[in-house]
Structure 1
Amino acid sequence: VSDALAEALMKSVVRASLKAIEDPEDYEARSNIMWAATWALNTLIACGKTTDWMVHMLGQAVGAYTDATHGMTLAAVSLPYYRTILPYGVKKFARFAKEVWGVSPEGKTDATLAEEGLAAMESWMRKLGLAMDITSLGATPEMIQGIADATFILDGGYKVLTRDEVVKVLTESL
């Protein structure tokens, strides 16, 4: 049930965000984004599963070095992070692709389906004008080691990152 709730919230955010970009005065679209965010941050959608806030830890560390907003740092690090953990949670990423992004599973492996889902997510993020790399937020290659040191590594999720993997994700986020 909690996966279906999370997917429904994400689909709602996708629809509403595109409407809000098209018409910033669309009260219903903006209120649906806020309502979905409220539900996404309560613990109901985490019931029955191990959660992972690692992408937030990466984003917070980038924000400490760049002064960028948390949402923009999340956008900039999320795809490299998801691609790093994808082999450990490929079935869930494949489900995400099918249920949220409408990617057809016909004739595809779970890995291909998952990658197509991340590509659809990237396309959506670009339509919204989100930061797609930490360089655009002010990060430099010279900052990577410090940002990695500032990243709190959390247990949980599909894979607990090593410090070297944190550096890899951050480098791929440049």
Structure 2
Amino acid sequence: RANIDALRLLGADAIVTVSSVGSLREELPPGTFVLPAQFLDFTKGRPTTFYDGGRVYHVSLADPFCPDLLRRAVAAGRAVGTPFAEGKTYVCVEGPRFSTRAESALFRQWADVIGMTLVPEVTLARERATCYACLAMVTDFDVWAERPVEAKEIVETMHRNADRMGRLLARLLPSLTGTPDCACARSLDDAGV
């Protein structure tokens, strides 16, 4: 919560995060860049709201990511030759442990990638009427692939793709000036009870 509030106090109206994720799909191999469109929250005990006392706001997370930021990210990715797999679902788990085979098989029924960092920041950003997008980099196949996930593999994949992500961010960030073409700034309108 403190990080989201600090960014808002500094005047940020958009947040773009970079996340390492495991793949739950054969067609999303390590090195693939993914733009999640939806998420599933399997975390436990993380503070997920600013409104846990006093007035309550029920913000919509039907479409949790800013459509304007997603469009700009797609354009930046194409411009630097790093296209995204779009419209995917990110399942967020508590961590720091990796999934069991049974969990991975279950998550494959509902999601495309798995990570540990998306929640609660995506919901907190919406509660602060802030545009939010996640640029996810597939670093490994989750354990459904019949071999254990290893931290070494994740780090190696991140290092191999750091330059690609750097070029993408260098193209994307300057495009974030101006008024976004979205309703994120109005997410609290009529949400309070």
Same fold, TM-score > 0.5, yes or no: no
Greater RCO, 1 or 2 (C-alpha within 8 Å, sep 6+): 2
TM-score calculated relative to the size of structure 2: 0.29
- Higher-strand-fraction structure: 2
TM-score calculated relative to the size of structure 1: 0.31
